[in-house]
């Protein structure tokens, strides 16, 4: 099935719920590395999603109400987010598709206030979901 192809500058928007954690999310911008272009913007190809990082996102989780900080990344794409037929220099192009799996890596843990002092959140990684927002509305691939 044809779907919108991703290009340089398209957004990866992550949902704020990461299991028990709530993250203050900001969209990340994709950096296309394919040699082909759409209106002078490089097409995103397989592997470009792994370079996306959104550092400095704050979060809380359950009783850990004193905010911590971490980095949002794309953990994996859904099967409908890579072209099957179209290859660019041997790599599938990336498609808007449905939802990808997002990863939130904690750098500074949220903390739970207690009379004995704050207790840090022991969870180093949370998983969530996100989707792509593309400015390309014409060029599609499958």
**Averaged in consecutive runs of 10 residues, what is the pLDDT profile of the chain (142 residues)?**
94 98 98 94 98 98 98 98 94 97 99 98 99 93 88
Whether this model's pTM surpasses 0.85: yes
Per DSSP, the three-state class of 26 is: coil
Phi and psi for 90 in degrees, rounded to 5? Answer: 85, -5
Strand partners, 12: 28, 132
Whole-number pLDDT of residue 142: 87
Whole-number pLDDT of residue 65: 98
CA distances to 7, 9, 11, 32, 114 from 4, rounded to whole Å, are: 10, 14, 13, 14, 50
Domain boundaries, the chain: 3-137
């Amino acid at each position: 099935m044809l779907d919108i192809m991703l290009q340089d500058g398209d957004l990866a928007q992550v949902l704020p719920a990461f299991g028990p954690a709530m993250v203050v999310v900001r969209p990340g911008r994709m950096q296309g590395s394919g040699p082909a272009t759409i209106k002078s913007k490089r097409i995103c190809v397989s592997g470009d999603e792994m370079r996306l990082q959104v550092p400095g996102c704050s979060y809380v989780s359950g009783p850990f109400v004193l905010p911590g900080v971490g980095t949002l990344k794309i953990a994996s794409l859904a099967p409908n987010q890579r072209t099957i037929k179209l290859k660019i220099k041997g790599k599938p192009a990336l498609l808007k598709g449905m939802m990808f799996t997002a990863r939130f890596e904690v750098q500074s843990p949220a903390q739970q206030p207690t009379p004995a002092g704050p207790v840090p959140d022991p969870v180093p990684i949370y998983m969530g979901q996100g989707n792509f927002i593309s400015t390309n509305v014409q060029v599609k691939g499958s």
